[in-house]
Amino acid sequence: MFTRTFKDSLDDVWTAVTDPQRSTHWFGFWTGDPADGFVMFTMNAEGEENAVPTRFDIKQCVPPRLLEVTSVDEFGSWNLIIELDESATGDTHVTLSHIITDPETVPSMGPGWEYYLDRLAAYLRHRNPDDVLWADYSPAMEQHYVAIQQSLPRTDAPGAQ
């Protein structure tokens, strides 16, 4: 679970996350009709060789507060929940949850989401998201997430449920 607070309005942050013309600046874009229950999402911040459309099923969408999507690709299972809440001062709190089925992915997923949320912050601040450097996250943050991974209960350990 990752949290950020932005000075931007709830609607502005929501559209930065869900409008493909805005999300393309910091993360990726989608094509298709969400009314069909899925879209094809393409990450575009990791180089053209990784810009492969992947189907994301829309489990819940309650604008401008909640989006839940799922997908499975060669990198694993993606069950993502984005929740937005506006404070009394007009700030927008964002909680991004990635429900992980394979704890081995924590050391790579953690820095990845930190990176993308900082790219979102740069975009919302009218800065260039490309100035957010991946090298500042990986391998720099991996040990932090290895420690988190190692603290998780093991489901394959004797007596684990």
* pLDDT tens per residue, range 125-149: 999 999 999 999 999 999 999 999 9
Q: Which residues contact 150 (CB under 8 A, 6 or more apart)?
A: none
pLDDT of residue 156: 63
Domain ranges in the chain are 2-151
Below-70 pLDDT ranges, the chain: 155-161
pLDDT of residue 44: 87
Hey, which bits of 32-154 come out as E strands?
38-43, 54-62, 66-73, 76-86, 92-98
The hierarchical CATH code for the domain 2-151 is 3.30.530.20
pLDDT of residue 75: 75
Token pair listed for 155: 């489901």
Residue 157 gets which letter from DSSP?
Answer: S
pLDDT of residue 157: 52
